[in-house]
Structure formats: C-alpha cells, structure tokens
Amino acid sequence: MRSLAQRPCGRVSTARRGRVAITVRAQASSANGSKWPLDVVVVGAGIGGLVTASALLEAGARVRVYEARSLEQALDGPGGILVQANGEKVMRLLDSPWPTPSSSSSSFSASSLSDAVYAVGGPVMSGGFRSDRGDYLYYAAVDSTGLKDLRSNGLGISRRSLQNILHAALPAGTVTFGAPLKAFTAPPAGQAGAVKVEFEDGTVESCDILIGSDGVRSKVRAQVLREAAGEAAPEKLRYSGTVCWRGRVPMSRVGKGAEWLSQQVNGDTWAEYWGAGLRFGFFQVGSEVARDASAPGGLRQEGEPQIAWYAFANRPEDWSPEPGADEVARMAGMFKDFAAPVPQVIAALDPASVSYGRIYDQLPRPAPWAAGRVTLLGDAAHAMMPTLGQGGCMAIEDGLELANELMAAAGGLEGPQADAVAAAGLEAALRRYEASRAPRTGRVADQSYQVAELAMADKPVSVWLRNTIYRLTPKWAGDKQFEYLYTDYVPAWKEGVRQGRQFGAGAAAAPAQQKVGAA
Ligand SMILES: Cc1cc2nc3c(=O)[nH]c(=O)nc-3n(C[C@H](O)[C@H](O)[C@H](O)COP(=O)(O)OP(=O)(O)OC[C@H]3O[C@@H](n4cnc5c(N)ncnc54)[C@H](O)[C@@H]3O)c2cc1C
C-alpha cells in the first residue's frame, strides 16, 4: 500500500457537455513534516465512509479509506437510495467552499458534490404510502418536510451513481480497494501511541483514529464488543422477517412509458404500495454516472432516466430461492393483484438486474459505541430497517458530526501517537460524537422498525386496521411524526473548520493542482 507521503494533493474543476466534472479537495499536505496532521483510517467505502472522508478532508485531516471489495463492486450497488433533506443539507455543507458551477453552455455540468448528485438524480417532490389498491394511506409533498425549498427536499439517485460521485469527490488514491480489515490494536484509553490496523493480506497501517464504517456486519464493531465483554460477543443483529428484492429499470420500459407511469401515480416521484405481508415501491433516480478515465473528473453521464424499485415479502430467515429461480416471475406472481403500475414495473424488469437479500437491523445501542481512539459510524453503529429511507442519511450526518468533534478537539495539540493529553482529548471527542448521535439514530431506528411492522402486517384483520387508521389520520398528524427527521437536525461546521484547518499547519499548505480521474 502506498504511504501517505506519496499521495497527491489537488483541486480540479471542469465542466463539459454530458460529462460529470466535480471539484476534488486536496489531501492534507504534510509538507512541513514537523507538524501533526490528524491521521485517520476509515474502514469501509460505503456511503458513510466516503462522506466521512470528504468531511475530514474538508477539516484538514489526512484520511485513508480501506475497502474490502474491488473498485468495480464497491462503486456499484443495487437499486437506488433517497438522500433526503437532512442528508442533502450535509452534502451542501461539504461542498460549500468549492467553486460554483461556471458552465452556461453545457447541458450538464457540476462543480460540486451536491450539484453532481442533483444533476444526475431525481428530486423528491411528492409521493406516499398506498394500499395495494393504489389509494393513499399517507401522502407527503415537498412541504411535508417543513422545508419549502424544493432543492432542499432531497433526491433519489442510483447507488452506482452516488458511490461514483462520492468517490470522485476524493483525491485520487484516498481509497484502497480490495483491502479487507482483519483486526486492530489500540492503545489503552488515555495512552499515547498509534492505533494499528491489520489487513487480511498481512499489511499493518498506523493511525491516530480508526473509524469503523464497515456496514451491518462490521468487523470493527465485532472486535469492540468482544473486547468490551472480555469474551466472544455474539453479533447483535435482528432478522426482520423480510426478504427484499431490488434493482433499477428505465422509465420508458414500464407499461406505456414514462408519461403513462407518471399518470398512474398522479405525477408523484415516489410511491410505495402495502399489501398483506408484501410491499412494493419505486422512485425516480434520473440517469446514471459511470467511471470513465478519459472524461473530466473521471465520470461520464449515461443512459436514460430510470426508477429504482424494491419489493419486500415476509419470509423465514432460512428462506432461500431454489438455484436458477426466475425472481421476476416470482415477483410477478406475488404482486399480480396490486394496482397498476406495480405489475407493469415488474413485467419490465431484466432478471439479470434483480438483487435480493434478507434484511437485518440492530437493536439501537446507547453510547458509547466504542472505546479508546476507535469509533463506529453508519450501519456499523446503527443498522436500521430501510422503511424510512434514512440509514444512509444517518451515516451522512454521522460523518459531519464526527469530523466536527475531532476538529474541535484537535486544535493546538501535539499528535496523540506521542502525547497522552492529545490522545485523551481525541477519545473524549469520539465519545461526545457517539453521545450526540445515539439518541437521534436510536429514535430513527425505532421508528423505522415500527413502520416496518405496520407495512408488513399480513393478517387480514391487522391489514384492515392498519389501512383504516392511516386513512383516518389527518395529514398534519402524519407529517408531524416524520418532521423531526428534517427539522431537528441542523448541520453546521463548528467554528474554525473552514479557515482554521486545525489538524495541523501542514493542512494549511497551498494545494497543488491535480487532475483526478478514475482510480
Ligand atoms: C432495501 C434498502 C433500501 C434502503 N434505502 C435507503 C434510502 O432510500 N435512503 C437511505 O438513506 N438509506 C437507505 N437504506 C440504508 C442504507 O443503504 C444504509 O444505511 C447505508 O448504505 C449504510 O452505509 P454505510 O456506509 O454505513 O454501510 P455500507 O453501505 O454497508 O458500507 C460498508 C462498506 O464496508 C465494506 N466492508 C465491510 N467489511 C469490511 C472489512 N472487513 N474491511 C474493509 N471494508 C469492509 C463493505 O464492503 C462496504 O462497502 C436502504 C437499505 C436497504 C437494505
């Protein structure tokens, strides 16, 4: 693995017709050598790991991200994701110091993270939970978030596009792919020294801080729990009782095409249908970006507007499809009595594009989530049911808040590898981050679980009761139960992160120009 000293620094901004070009921040330079730039290892290059790397770089830290999967696998993903108003606000903060778009002649241009995701994705405007007959059980419009600005309302984007954009926003070489973490060794609480991170290939890296953003089956979390319990700790995953199929399909292929599809859902940009132990949903995700080493920014926009779709069914944990089963035919059978356009979406699917898996979450854990100079983030800390479309948004919020706490603690200290005071200060910052995040992520996880229970009700009487209660609930009361998601969280950089670059004088060094392409 390359050492940090060899890693390039850079800033680039370009815009071309039909091409995605986004500005890339510099890695903190260690040109000075004698100063201490906080040195962070992030394990896992999912949404959480990539956004956290962006936030930490913005704050002036050195960041290395290690991802178990190959670049091709990690920068892909099934279906799409809603980056809702709360996650979108963080993205805008992360790119606010970047230049604004300058191209007026191009049909597509982006010079920042949130511009890129908006240029590619589809805005979330209106939608709702519906019965399997198609009538609304709960309807949400732009103002249901309590935010009036359409752009603030969030967007739907393909996972592949989001992963590619988040990755392209980092300096080349920040992420090492094909590097599964094996274990770590951290100094005892309050003591100086390096955190050692060992990978499956035997490589060992040192850092000041280790962030486990390695998903629902986190190895970092497993080791933290094991060490806290002093014995082999069981994985605290909870099987939801549901299996999920998902993917993407061009809108033009569904039924009689995009206009027909839009008419079927009253012009909504998302729709979710609840039956008895069955649920089907979809939302607009716009077109795609793919990696292209010859394109400015290393990304190219391609294809026509798509929808991301998902289907849930109640199944026992030991359920698995027979080998070679046609999952499209299976879903067509399961959802044949659902209102249009559900059967038509399923009929349009390419079986090769369908992914499926069992859904697990964790019982929300109070803080602290970890110990010493190690912490957890995203699904590693708080895997939740996908019902509210908030797991990724929580990981995005985590990233900014973690960078904020570390930045605030790091200013003016010597490096923790040599200095116990600095080590204790950073540990306290990690525990503050965990304490600030646990109540909110726990509330969202609890609500996601409760809504999932309702959505997946399968007894006729409970389905009738659910639908009746939803239909009778006034819209304002429905909005109220979700409003906290968008209004309770006000992300902000803490004092000094922009100008101060408090992790070390080296971080303030003028960045060199560097064009970033595909890794
Ligand atoms: C069906 C479904 C729909 C969803 N819809 C939404 C939505 O609309 N909006 C939303 O906000 N959220 C949604 N979510 C939740 C969201 O996908 C997750 O919360 C989010 O992906 C978590 O991001 P993460 O970075 O924490 O973890 P992950 O995305 O799981 O990333 C973890 C990364 O760590 C890597 N890794 C694992 N082990 C190791 C190791 N030992 N060493 C190195 N790397 C490792 C993995 O390969 C992976 O790349 C949905 C989830 C599901 C299942």
Domain housing 136: 77-100+107-158+239-361+459-494
Would you state the structure tokens that stand for residue 395, as one six-digit string? 């990981």
According to the model, what pLDDT value does residue 11 have? 29
Q: Is the pLDDT of residue 149 over 90?
A: no
Q: Is the pLDDT of residue 407 over 90?
A: no
According to the model, what pLDDT value does residue 414 have? 62
Q: What percent of the chain has pLDDT over 70?
A: 81
Do residues 243 and 102 touch, judged by C-beta distance below 8 A?
Answer: no
Least confident of 228-237, 303-312, 509-518: 509-518
> What average pLDDT does the segment 477-504 reach?
75
The structure's pTM equals: 0.90
> What average pLDDT does the segment 267-277 reach?
96
Q: Is the pLDDT of residue 19 over 80?
A: no
Last residue of a domain, one of 452, 486, 510: 452
Q: For residue 312, give the ligand 1 atom closest to its CA.
A: 1
Do residues 224 and 235 touch, judged by C-beta distance below 8 A?
Answer: no
Residue 2 is assigned to a structural domain of this protein? no
State the Cα–Cα distance between residues 314 and 446, nearest whole angstrom: 19
392 lines ligand 1 (CB under 6 A): yes
Residue 31 is assigned to a structural domain of this protein? no
Q: Is the pLDDT of residue 359 over 50?
A: yes
49 lines ligand 1 (CB under 6 A): yes
Q: Which residue has the tokens 């994985």?
A: 235
74 lines ligand 1 (CB under 6 A): yes
According to the model, what pLDDT value does residue 10 have? 29
Residue 20 is assigned to a structural domain of this protein? no
> What average pLDDT does the segment 39-56 reach?
96
Out of 42, 84, 379, mutate this one to test ligand 1's pocket (max ligand atoms within 8 Å of CB): namely 379
pLDDT class of 95 with cuts at 50, 70, 90: low
Q: State how far the alpha carbon of 329 is from the alpha carbons of 93, 243, 254, 351, in Å.
A: 44, 16, 16, 9
Q: Is the pLDDT of residue 380 over 90?
A: yes
Say yes or no: 276 and 295 in one domain: yes
Q: Is the pLDDT of residue 31 over 70?
A: no
CATH code of the domain containing 478 = 3.30.9.30
Say yes or no: 151 and 256 in one domain: yes
Q: Is the pLDDT of residue 51 over 80?
A: yes
Q: Is the pLDDT of residue 328 over 50?
A: yes
Average per-residue pLDDT in the chain? 84
48 lines ligand 1 (CB under 6 A): yes
Say yes or no: 233 and 277 in one domain: no
According to the model, what pLDDT value does residue 215 have? 98
pLDDT class of 472 with cuts at 50, 70, 90: very high
pLDDT class of 515 with cuts at 50, 70, 90: very low
Least confident of 33-42, 101-110, 184-193: 101-110
Q: For residue 179, give the ligand 1 atom closest to its CA.
A: 43
AA identity, residue 495: E
The predicted-structure confidence for 438-459, as pLDDT tens digits, reads as follows 999 999 999 999 999 999 999 9
Say yes or no: 291 and 418 in one domain: no
CATH code of the domain containing 438 = 3.50.50.60
Do residues 517 and 12 touch, judged by C-beta distance below 8 A?
Answer: no
According to the model, what pLDDT value does residue 228 have? 86
Q: Is the pLDDT of residue 102 over 70?
A: no
Say yes or no: 444 and 423 in one domain: yes
Say yes or no: 232 and 251 in one domain: no
Would you state the structure tokens that stand for residue 282, as one six-digit string? 């979809």
User: 397 C-alpha vs ligand 1 centroid, how far in Å?
Assistant: 14
Last residue of a domain, one of 421, 452, 483: 452
Say yes or no: 112 and 231 in one domain: no
According to the model, what pLDDT value does residue 245 have? 96
According to the model, what pLDDT value does residue 26 have? 59
Would you state the structure tokens that stand for residue 431, as one six-digit string? 């525990």
Residue 322 is assigned to a structural domain of this protein? yes
399 lines ligand 1 (CB under 6 A): no
Would you state the structure tokens that stand for residue 405, as one six-digit string? 């706490």
Q: Is the pLDDT of residue 478 over 90?
A: no
> What average pLDDT does the segment 253-268 reach?
96
Quickly count: other Cβ atoms within 10 Å of residue 257's Cβ: 12
309 lines ligand 1 (CB under 6 A): no
According to the model, what pLDDT value does residue 98 have? 37
pLDDT class of 487 with cuts at 50, 70, 90: confident
221 lines ligand 1 (CB under 6 A): no
Residue 518 is assigned to a structural domain of this protein? no
Q: Is the pLDDT of residue 514 over 50?
A: no
Residue 18 is assigned to a structural domain of this protein? no
Last residue of a domain, one of 423, 452, 481: 452
Least confident of 117-131, 242-256, 368-382, 389-403: 117-131
Say yes or no: 327 and 445 in one domain: no
pLDDT class of 417 with cuts at 50, 70, 90: confident
Q: Is the pLDDT of residue 198 over 90?
A: yes
Check residues 119 and 66 and name the one with the higher pLDDT. 66
Overall number of domains in the chain = 2
Q: What percent of the chain has pLDDT over 90?
A: 60
CA nearest neighbour of 376 among 182, 218, 177, 196: 218
44 lines ligand 1 (CB under 6 A): yes
> What average pLDDT does the segment 370-393 reach?
97
Q: Is the pLDDT of residue 77 over 80?
A: yes
Check residues 152 and 209 and name the one with the higher pLDDT. 209
Would you state the structure tokens that stand for residue 87, as one six-digit string? 């996650």
According to the model, what pLDDT value does residue 123 have? 81
Say yes or no: 375 and 273 in one domain: no
Say yes or no: 343 and 332 in one domain: yes
81 lines ligand 1 (CB under 6 A): yes
State the Cα–Cα distance between residues 377 and 389, nearest whole angstrom: 17
Q: Quick one: DSSP state of residue 479?
A: H
Q: Is the pLDDT of residue 28 over 80?
A: no
Say yes or no: 224 and 250 in one domain: no
